[in-house]
């Protein structure tokens, strides 16, 4: 019976979910359930343009490792530059701070990639052309996926966990890359951001800076040089490691920008992000 239900779920995933259509043919599929946690659903929204190019981009809905919700029809405009170029976008929500800490959050976003890969045909994307991006905590999670992914567990009973969580391209905006100085209840950041309150012995496991390897995907970093919350050294330091391992990488420095971009800075970073995914996810 469980096998039958799984088959039905995969085959009718989009048919059983409410669809919203924009004026230009955009299809929005809200609240796709990619897992469950303590009786709660883990969900993402799917934004698919009429002329989809087959590549998928997962956006990490995360700031301070808090993952909020907004009506998907309001969020669609945020993804317009990607949608206009044919990318299917997945807005991924994870188990949110303050209930869940970073190691728990990481397991959620890993699962989201595995789920998309398992259901790639139904979702209309190529499982080998998945990118991920986010800002701040979302950038951190994007880099975690880029640097610490695996091929899945072929012996897992859950078919989602059998799939890889590898991605083909990463864009990280003003991301924390080394959490070791921040983790624990006695640090200022740990006090300000509850998701950082976990065993400091695990901080290295959650720090992308320490896990760069030659098989990491092409990675674009975008950071303001006046960022006082997450100093630009977080990006310059991991850039050094990426270059040491001959990973395709680039850092765009936004002059005089702090944490988060506005106006022209935002437009510039968005265009750079979109071009990065075009370069590394689209077939020639």
Contact 252, 221 (CB under 8 A): yes
54: tokens are 């087959």
Q: What is the DSSP letter of 46?
A: E
Backbone angles phi, psi at 257, to 5 degrees: -95, 145
Band (284; pLDDT cuts 50, 70, 90): low
Minimal CA–CA distance to 210: which of 178, 175, 232? 178
Reply yes or no on whether the pLDDT at 23 is more than 80.
no
- Residue range 45-50: mean pLDDT, rounded: 97
Length of the chain: 284
* DSSP letter string, 197-220: -S-GGGTGGG-GGGG--TTPPPEE
Predicted local distance difference test score (pLDDT) of residue 18: 43
- Residue range 64-90: mean pLDDT, rounded: 93
**Mean of all residue pLDDT scores within the chain:** 92
Reply yes or no on whether the pLDDT at 198 is more than 90.
yes
What are residue 61's DSSP bridge partners?
93
Rounded to two decimals, the pTM is: 0.92
Residue 13 region, left (φ>0) first, then alpha (ψ -120 to 50), else beta? alpha
Alpha carbon distance 237, 165 (integer Å):
25
What are residue 48's DSSP bridge partners?
27
- Residue range 43-71: mean pLDDT, rounded: 96
What domains can you pick out in the chain, each with its CATH number? 18-281 (3.40.50.1820)
Predicted local distance difference test score (pLDDT) of residue 19: 54
Task: Using CB atoms within 10 Å of the CB of residue 256, give its burial: 0 to 12 exposed, 13 to 18 middle, 19+ buried.
Answer: exposed
Percentage of the chain exceeding pLDDT 70: 91
Predicted local distance difference test score (pLDDT) of residue 21: 53
Name every residue whose Cβ is closer than 8 Å to that of residue 207 and which is 6 or more positions away in sequence: 177, 178, 179, 180
Predicted local distance difference test score (pLDDT) of residue 172: 98
Predicted local distance difference test score (pLDDT) of residue 192: 93
pLDDT digits (tens, 9 = 90+) for 261-278: 999 999 999 999 999 999
Predicted local distance difference test score (pLDDT) of residue 10: 42
């Amino acid at each position: 019976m469980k096998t039958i239900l799984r088959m039905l779920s995969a085959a009718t995933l989009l048919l059983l979910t409410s669809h919203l259509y924009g004026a230009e043919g955009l299809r929005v599929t809200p609240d796709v359930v990619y897992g469950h946690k303590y009786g709660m659903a883990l969900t993402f929204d799917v934004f698919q343009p009429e002329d989809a190019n087959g590549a998928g981009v997962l956006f990490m809905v995360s700031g301070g490792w808090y993952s909020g919700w907004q009506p998907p029809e309001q969020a669609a405009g945020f993804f317009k530059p990607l949608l206009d170029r044919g990318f299917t976008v997945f807005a991924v929500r994870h188990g949110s701070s303050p209930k869940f800490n970073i190691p728990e959050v990481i397991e959620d976003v890993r699962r989201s990639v595995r789920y998309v890969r398992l259901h790639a045909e139904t979702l209309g994307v190529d499982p080998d052309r998945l990118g991920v991006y986010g800002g701040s905590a979302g950038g951190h999670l994007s880099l975690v996926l880029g640097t610490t992914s695996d091929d899945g567990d072929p012996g897992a009973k859950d078919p989602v966990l059998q799939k890889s969580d590898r991605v083909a391209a990463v864009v990280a905006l003003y991301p924390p890359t080394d959490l070791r100085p921040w983790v624990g209840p006695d640090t200022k950041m740990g006090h300000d951001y509850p998701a950082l309150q976990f065993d400091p012995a695990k901080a290295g496991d959650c720090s992308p800076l320490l896990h760069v390897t030659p098989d990491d995907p092409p990675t674009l970093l975008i950071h303001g040089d006046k960022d006082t919350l997450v100093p630009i050294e977080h990006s310059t330091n991991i850039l050094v490691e990426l270059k040491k391992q001959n990973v395709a990488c680039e850092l765009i420095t936004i002059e005089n920008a702090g944490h988060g971009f506005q106006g022209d800075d935002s437009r510039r970073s968005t265009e750079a992000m979109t071009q990065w995914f075009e370069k590394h996810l689209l077939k020639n």
